[in-house]
Amino acid sequence: MDWKTRIAAIINNHTDLVADPPRKRMIAEAVERRECIVSIGGALATWTPPESTGRSPKDTVIVKRPVNENEIDWNSPNNIPITEETFDMAMEDALKLMAEKPRVYVTNKVVGADSRYALPIQTVSDFALTVLFTDNMFRPVPDDLERSIFADRPFSLVVLPYDKLDPRRYEGRLRKLPNGETSNMIVAMDFERGLGVIVGSAYGGSVKKLIFTVMNYLLPAEGILPLHCSANEGTDGNSALLLGLSGTGKTTLSADPRRALLGDDEHGWSDDGIANFENGCYAKLINLSPVKEPEIYNAVTHKDDYLSHGAIVENAMVYPDGTFDFDDERFTPNSRASYPLRYLSNIKESSIAGHPKTILFLTADANGVIPPVSKLNPEQAMLWFLMGYTSKLAGTETGIVEPVSTFSRFFGQPFMPRNPDVYARMLGEKMKEHDTQVYLINTGWSGGPYGVGKRMDIDLTRAMVDAALSGRLKNMEYEQDPIFKVFVPKSCPDVPNEILKPCNTWTDKDEYDKRAKKLAVDFKTHFDKAYSDKNIDPKVVAECPGM
C-alpha cells in the first residue's frame, strides 16, 4: 500500500486544510478550539486523559519484517513487533477518521540540525496543539535540505490524539489490557516505509520519542551515533556530552552559564561532529524551582502575549488566577513543558559543534559506593554505556531505605531499537578516533546509602564537572577501584581528597565493602540477563563489576 500517496490525497482533498500555518495561528486556534487555556504568563496549559499522562510503552510497536529481523533487538521488552498487515489496518482506520475531521493541520519540519542528515517530517493531525508541539520541537526545513542523506526518504506521521481504535477489530493483534479487553491505542513505526501512526495518545512525548526512535534506527546504518544526551560548548569551542537517566542531574549540570547549550536531550555524532536533533525542549516540571532551574522556569513562566508565547504545559496544576503549582502531582508527577530552545538565554543557535572532547556519564548511586568522579577507558565506557546504571529508591520504612539498582542501556533503552552491540561499538570507535575522554560522575550519596549518608553536594559535583570539562582532570594521578574497576583520581581541583574514595567517607568500612560487593553482583546479574546472548566484545565484558 502506498500510504504516502493516500496521505497526500487526504491533505489535497480536504475541504478545510491548514498547511504549515504561522505560529500565531496555531496558538490562536488551539485556544479557540478549547484544546488548552492561557496561563497568567501566556503559556498554554492543557490536560490529557489519565491514560495519556506519559508514554505507553506497551502500545508502542514496530513493524517486523525480514529486512530488520536481525537488525533490531526483538528480545528487548521495548521492541514490540507487529505485522505489516496490523500497521496497515491502523493507518487505514486513522486516515478514515482524519478524512472525516472538520479541519486538518499539516506541518513540514525536519529533525537534525546538521542538514547532511536532517530527516524531513510531515505531521498530519486534527489537533492544533499537536502541530504547535511540532513547531516547538522540530526544526524549520533548511535551504540546503537536498544535501541530506534522507532528502528522498521523508517520514510521514499521522496523529489522532483523542480518537480510539475499535478493540474488537484488533483482537489478537494488539496487547490485552488487565481487564481482558484489547487496547484501543497505538503508537506505531514502520522504519522501512518511513511511516508512523499515533491513535489515542495525547501525550506530546509520544510524538517526540517516536521520531527519536526512528532516528536511532536510521542513523547507525549511516555511520552516525545517536545519543540520548544533553550537549554544550565552552568558549574555547570544545563540546561535551552529558548522559544520564532521570534524577541524575543531566538538565541541571548541562545548564552552565559559561557554556552554550546545543540541546538537552537528543543528538547525533557524525564524522563532522555533534548536532542536536530538535529545536526545543520537553522539560519535566514536577518541583520546578526558579532557584535551582531558573532557565527552565523562565522559559515556561515568562510573561508574554499568549500569541507570541506558545510554550505548552501538560498536566500541571493551574489555579483559577492562571498561576501554576509545579509541586502539585495529584494529576501526575510527569507534568511537562514544551518550548523552543530560543526561550533559553545561553544557547548555540546552530546547535552544531565539533567532536566532543569530554563525555560525562551521570549516575545517582543511592548505595553511596560509586566514586564521585572516575575516568573510564574505552572498554569501560562501552560497558557503562551498555549498563546505563543509576538507582531508584524503594519506599521508606522506619528510616531504612533499600536502593534498587536500575539499568537502562545507553541511558535511554526504550528508544534504542537496534542490537546493543551496534551502539556500544560505535561509541568506542568514536572515542578512540577523536581522543574523547569519558568520566563517570556520581551525583548520588556519599558516606553511606540513602537514609544514612548525604547526597553529594551540588557545588562539589560542579567542581568535578568543571575539572573534567576543562581538561584539568585528564592527566591527574589515578588508582583503580578494586570493585568497580574505574580509575579514581587521587586529587581533583576544588574537591577535598578524602571524598574521592567513597570508602573513606563511611564510618563502617565493613558495611561499605558489603554494599559495594552487592552492587557489583547486581551489575553481573543484569549483564548476564541482558547481554549473555549478544555479540559483546570480551574486553568490554571483562570490565563489568562482579565479573
Per annotation, catalytic residue among 173, 336, 348, 526: 336
DSSP, collapsed to helix, strand or coil, labels residue 78 as coil
The C-alpha cell at 350 is 546552530
Q: Which is it for the CA torsion 256, 260, 265, 266, positive or negative?
A: negative
Answer yes or no: 470 catalytic.
no
Helix axes 3-13, 84-99, angle to 10 degrees: 0
Whole-angstrom distance, CA of residue 338 vs CA of residue 300: 8
Kindly state the helix (H) or strand (E) to which residue 387 belongs, with its residue range.
helix 378-387
Going by their DSSP bridges, the two strands 358-363 and 239-244 should be labelled as parallel
DSSP, collapsed to helix, strand or coil, labels residue 44 as strand
Q: Is 195 exposed, middle or buried (0-12, 13-18, 19+ CB in 10 A)?
A: buried
Whole-angstrom distance, CA of residue 182 vs CA of residue 178: 9
Whole-angstrom distance, CA of residue 192 vs CA of residue 433: 31
The C-alpha cell at 510 is 565493613
Answer yes or no: 228 catalytic.
yes
Answer yes or no: 250 catalytic.
yes
**10 Å Cβ neighbour count for 227?**
29
Strands (E), 55-185: 60-63, 80-82, 104-111, 119-125, 155-160
Answer yes or no: 251 catalytic.
yes
Kindly list the strands in the beta sheet with 266-270, ordered across the sheet, starting from the edge strand earlier in the chain.
Answer: 225-228, 266-270, 273-276, 352-353
Q: What is the DSSP string of 256-320?
A: -TTSEEEESSEEEEETTEEEES-SEEEEE-TT--TTT-HHHHHHHH----HHHH--EEES-EE-T
Helix axes 420-434, 378-387, angle to 10 degrees: 150
Answer yes or no: 330 catalytic.
no
Per annotation, catalytic residue among 264, 265, 466, 481: 265
List the one residue out of 358, 508, 347 whose CA is nearest residue 431.
Answer: 358
Per annotation, catalytic residue among 55, 139, 309, 409: 55
Answer yes or no: 168 catalytic.
no
List the one residue out of 125, 284, 265, 276 whose CA is nearest residue 207.
Answer: 125
Per annotation, catalytic residue among 60, 239, 251, 351: 251
Answer yes or no: 55 catalytic.
yes
- Sequence-distant (≥ 6) Cβ neighbours of residue 394 within 8 angstroms: 401, 402, 403, 404
**10 Å Cβ neighbour count for 174?**
24
Per annotation, catalytic residue among 109, 139, 209, 430: 209
The C-alpha cell at 458 is 551540588
Which residue shows C-alpha cell 566514586?
371
Per annotation, catalytic residue among 109, 193, 228, 267: 228
Per annotation, catalytic residue among 14, 250, 267, 515: 250
Answer yes or no: 436 catalytic.
no
Catalytic residues: 55, 209, 228, 246, 250-251, 265, 336
